[in-house]
A and B are shown apart, each in its own frame.
Chain A
């Protein structure tokens, strides 16, 4: 069962074709990570699924529905997006930013109903920042801020969550914090999570399903064990990789690599 499916998707920037005839399937209720080198098109693909970019050709299905046939608001109730480097205006508190996630569920003048407030509190609890509700965003660290953005996406109450490089600007500890949070979310809420992620080993560690992109095409897809092979990594990244199992969870990691 696929949460997201693309059919012959083609995306271009101006005259150049970035992606051609892409047929991507994202499994439901699992964590999928999309990997690839710079400029391979992975962010472009994610942005197009998120409706930030318009495709040149092809169809995108969310839970079986063509996104062209659905209204912006109804898609927003099924799929939340966290872009790279999100920005909030100055002067907002944590609670106010998370409240923005309720936007697709509101109507009229937009007063927060009991259900909205419930969801906001729930989201804050999941990211473990309930006491921070009235703190200004400016006073938070990078890791804390990222958690607040995730809480906003959670408050949106969607089955699918798309994240574009959610850990790229965070230090090692905060990176792991965020990824473990997402992992817990997937295990407890059965949310479908799709991430474009730069760090290969983290991508492999937390994914149920991985997709390797090169030049706008899927070069391989499957479980981390299937993807993390010398051959596949050469195809995706143009590197000569050494892959072993790490001693704690016996997941595949690339411990070193050379240029080809």
Chain B
């Protein structure tokens, strides 16, 4: 079935987004303390660059970019799913407290490891942090789900409960931060504003399969998400077991949001605005909406990361702040349009 936008227009839109992403990818190499021109980027990727270029490209820039793409996609997909399940366009993992749950878990973990876990980048740390974040995200989701449950899950209750839990966890987070030394406090501050601090291949290996598997699982459920957006009554009539499907999708969302938060801290707005933009571009059918959301989100995050790293060089801004700078005006614009 073709949308009224026509298949040709859709292909055009997706192609433009891909080209945009590729451009930012290449530009990001060209800026910074060690600039690599576009042609050299391509040469180095094929093993033709000199050793310095290879070092910067392969051990520093590339893993960071891949992590950014994974984080962006994870947040976008989980935001899209949450907006679908809650039937609310303002939902994203941040608002629902899933991200702050993950952040709180990590901060508590760091606190009890006496700050060693953060500064020490051993392999154990790299692989335990995502798990801790995941546990935190899972706990937050569990709390929200059980508190919102009353003979089933009502989407509005889910959101309201999420907002409440988010406030609670954020408050506890701040309490913990005050107990840290100034140095660590600042580090945590930066982390909770969102910063892609994982910059080597171990992080990629730790995160990639996770994000990939859950994203595929969600795309498999794309048509369920489509039906759920018709509302409970029609969904039941079409044979969807709404409680089971919402629960399953919520679990997938938590997994993705948890993974993203583990690696990049809480990046606000990304999971919120990417689905919105994607919806305006390609419509509401999830098979197309989910990948487009991920694409849009990747563009925004990659752009933000490039800006964050270079605009105040040599100081590196937390990427979450740049995303917010882009996100807030758009958000206000959305509200004003209503």
Binding site for B on A (CB under 8 A): 47, 50-52, 54, 71-77, 79-83, 86-93, 95-96, 99-101, 103-104, 106, 108-110, 112, 120, 134-136, 153, 156, 162
Contact = CB atoms under 8 A, between A and B. Distances in A.
Given A86-B230, A106-B223, A136-B4, A156 B284 contact: no
Contacts of A79: 237
25 contacts: A50-B233, A50-B236, A50-B237, A52-B233, A52-B237, A72-B239, A72-B241, A81-B234, A82-B237, A83-B234, A86-B230, A86-B233, A86-B234, A89-B229, A90-B284, A91-B3, A92-B284, A93-B1, A100-B230, A101-B238, A103-B223, A109-B220, A109-B222, A110-B222, A162-B237
Nearest to B223: A110
A18 to B, nearest CB: 15
Give the interface centre of A51, A96, A104 by most chain B CB atoms within 10 Å.
Answer: A96
A38 B231 CA distance: 24
A87 B222 CA distance: 19
B110 interface: no
Contacts of A83: 231, 233-234, 237
A72 B223 contact: no
B238 A156 contact: yes
Contacts of B151: 54
Contacts of B38: none
B234 A104 contact: no
Give the interface centre of B229, B233, B284 by most chain A CB atoms within 10 Å.
Answer: B233
Give the interface centre of B2, B4, B229, B283 by most chain A CB atoms within 10 Å.
Answer: B4
B226 interface: yes
A162 B3 CA distance: 29
Nearest to B238: A103
A80 B284 contact: no
A104 B238 contact: yes
Contacts, number: 93
A162 B231 CA distance: 17
Interface of B: 1-4, 151, 219-220, 222-223, 226-227, 229-234, 236-241, 279, 283-285, 287
Nearest to B279: A91
B297 to A, nearest CB: 19
A109 B221 CA distance: 7
Given A83-B233, A91-B284, A92-B284, A100 B2 contact: no
Nearest to A74: B239
Nearest to A98: B1
A71 B240 CA distance: 10
B239 A76 contact: yes
A203 to B, nearest CB: 22
A134 B2 CA distance: 7
A120 B283 CA distance: 20
B226 A100 contact: yes
A101 B234 CA distance: 10
Contacts of A87: 230-231
Nearest to B284: A89
Contacts of A162: 237
A103 B1 contact: no
